[in-house]
Amino acid sequence: MAQSKPEVGTARRTVIYIDADACPVKSEALKVAERHKLDVKIVSNGGIRPNPHPLVETVVVADGPDVADMWIAERCGPGDIVVTGDIPLAAKCLEAGAAAIRHNGEVFTLANIGNLLATRDLMTDLRAADPFRQGGGKPFSKADRSRFLERLEHLIRQSLKV
């Protein structure tokens, strides 16, 4: 069921969408959302235990590549915040007018998304050309978690001004 866009002259309530597969900051996002009384939609292909919190809706989509991403991209809009590590999803969310943030607190913007997409594509090509190329990034740290909380709070305060 698609979320309808608000009619002209009606206020739209901010929603936090969490691309839940491999998301290490679900509980942190919920704590910040709870403080601001914001709805949270935790979206995955399954394997996520439903959260009983009244502000949380656990959305399980069909199996398949990018199904959860498409669900989020089709529903997010101005004032919403999307928590994701998926750069193409972040680009779609920015196009829709939503804010997007990585688990480590890096905020996706219209100014940096093109560069991030290009780098992602380049790294995909390099890995395909050299099957022995070792991938992986640095481990998730306490500093990443702290930066995420600080920047999510900032994004929420910005969205509530809209």
Out of 42-56, 78-92, 107-121, 146-160, pick the least confident: 107-121
Strand partners for 60: 44
Q: Which domain holds residue 118?
A: 15-131
Question: Is 29 a domain residue?
Answer: yes
When the pLDDT of each residue in the chain is averaged and rounded to a whole number, the result is 86
Two structure tokens written together for 54 = 């009244």
Question: Is 7 a domain residue?
Answer: no
Question: Is 140 a domain residue?
Answer: no
| Domains in the chain, number | 1
Helix H or strand E encompassing 136: none
The sign one gets for the Cα dihedral 30, 147, 139, 65 is positive
* Opening angle at CA 20, ends 66 and 80, nearest 5: 85
Nearest one of 74, 95, 89, 75 to 14, comparing CA atoms? 75
Question: Is 93 a domain residue?
Answer: yes
Predicted local distance difference test score (pLDDT) of residue 7: 47
CATH number at residue 66: 3.40.50
Question: Per-residue pLDDT tens for 40-53?
Answer: 999 999 888 888 99
Question: Is 76 a domain residue?
Answer: yes
Question: Per-residue pLDDT tens for 24-72?
Answer: 999 999 999 999 999 999 999 988 888 899 999 999 999 888 899 999 9
* Opening angle at CA 87, ends 69 and 98, nearest 5: 70
- State how far the Cα of 57 lies from the Cα of 39, in Å rounded to an integer: 8
Question: Is 136 a domain residue?
Answer: no
- 84: Cβ contacts below 8 Å, ≥ 6 apart: 18, 19, 23, 69, 72, 90, 93, 100, 101, 102
* In the predicted structure, residue 162 carries a pLDDT above the cut 60: yes
Which DSSP letter does residue 45 get?
Answer: S
- 14: Cβ contacts below 8 Å, ≥ 6 apart: 36, 38, 79, 80, 81, 156, 159, 160
Question: Is 10 a domain residue?
Answer: no
Question: Per-residue pLDDT tens for 124-160?
Answer: 666 677 777 666 667 889 999 999 999 999 999 998 8
Do 51 and 77 form a contact (C-beta atoms < 8 A)? no
Question: Is 88 a domain residue?
Answer: yes
Do 115 and 76 form a contact (C-beta atoms < 8 A)? no
Instruction: Report the length, in residues, of the chain.
Output: 162
Residue in the structure block whose two tokens are 């093109």: 114
* In the predicted structure, residue 5 carries a pLDDT above the cut 70: no
